[in-house]
Copies of this chain bind each other. A is one copy, B any other.
Amino acid sequence: MPFGKLSDQKAREIVPGFYGKFVHTDRMTVSYWTIDAGALLPEHRHPHEQITTVIEGQLELTVAGETQVLGPLEIAVIPGDTVHAGRAVTDCLVIDVFQPARDDYR
C-alpha cells in the first residue's frame, strides 16, 4: 500500500513535549514532530545524517555549537555524529529526514 495518512498514526512522545510520527523504508526514515512550546531536546548525537525542516512555528537549533532560530521553510543539515540540541520557541511542526533509517524509532 503506497499511501498513508499521518492522521491514522498515533504520535509517540519520544522526548517530553516532542510527539513523533514515523515513515520508514529500509534505507531512510521521515519523522513528523509536533512540539510543545518550550520543550527541550537535550544535546545528543547519532550516526544518521539528518535534514530538519520547520513547517510551522519557531525552533531553536544548536548544531556543532552554532545556534539559530528556524521558522517555516528554514532548514538545518546535521551530518552524522554531530552534536545537536533544540528548543521549541513556539508550538512547532517539524519534519526530520534520517539516513540510514532510525531503527530505534520503528
Residues of A whose CB lies within 8 Å of any CB of B are: 2-7, 23, 25-28, 30, 32, 49, 51, 53, 55, 61, 63-64, 66, 68, 70, 73-79, 82, 95, 97, 99
A55 CA / B93 CA spacing, docked (Å): 11
- The 8 Å CB contact of A49, one of B27, B77, B78, is B27
B residues less than 8 Å from A99 (CB atoms): 25, 27-28, 99
Q: How far is the CB of A67 from the nearest CB of chain B, in Å?
A: 9
What copy number does this chain have within its complex?
A: 2
B75 and A6 form a contact (CB under 8 A):
yes
Contact B75 A23 (CB under 8 A): yes
A2 and B66 contact, CB distance less than 8 A? yes
Once bound together, how far apart are the Cα atoms of A3 and B5, in whole Å?
A: 29
Complex formed: what's the CA distance from A55 to B99 in Å? 21
By beta carbon, the residue of chain B nearest A69 is B3
Q: Is the CB of A77 within 8 A of B32?
A: no
